[in-house]
Amino acid sequence: MKKAIIFAIIISAIIISGCTQLQTDNRSDNKDTYTLEEIAEHSTENDCWLLIDEKVYNATDYIISHPGGTAILQGCGTDATDLFRTRPMGSGTPHSGNAKDLLKDYYIGELKRK
């Protein structure tokens, strides 16, 4: 009797594990990519994409919270890497680690390589 119960438990565990799908994070394999031309179409305060270090960010919702005010608009629709690193309209220093951490919340894809 004990053997039958143990056998049933083992078989049940095998069946359940076979029906369970392993979820994986495929974001790194299935990134959206955008050309410079596509990024340039998003160049307003109502639709602002930034390209920073070949990564594309939709910063539209962040504009009103940006500590540097409207300075962020200068980068909309462009490769804003140098602006992000040098803050020419602000202190002239690179953005903080906190600013870099915020970027991940607005990440939408990568620059499409030719």
Q: Where are the domains of the chain?
A: 33-111
- Is 62:72 a contact under the CB 8 Å cutoff? yes
- Is 52:74 a contact under the CB 8 Å cutoff? no
Distance CA 80, CA 113 (A): 17
- Superfamily assignment of 33-111 in CATH? Cytochrome b5-like heme/steroid binding domain (3.10.120.10)
- Is 7:13 a contact under the CB 8 Å cutoff? no
Q: Is the pLDDT of residue 94 over 90?
A: no
In the block, tokens 């004990």 appear at 2
DSSP per position, 51-77: EETTEEEE-GGGGGG-TTGGGGGGGTT
Mean pLDDT of 34-60: 98
Q: For 75-85, how does the pLDDT look when each residue is reduced to its tens digit (9 = 90+)?
A: 999 999 999 99
What is the pTM for the complete model shown? 0.71
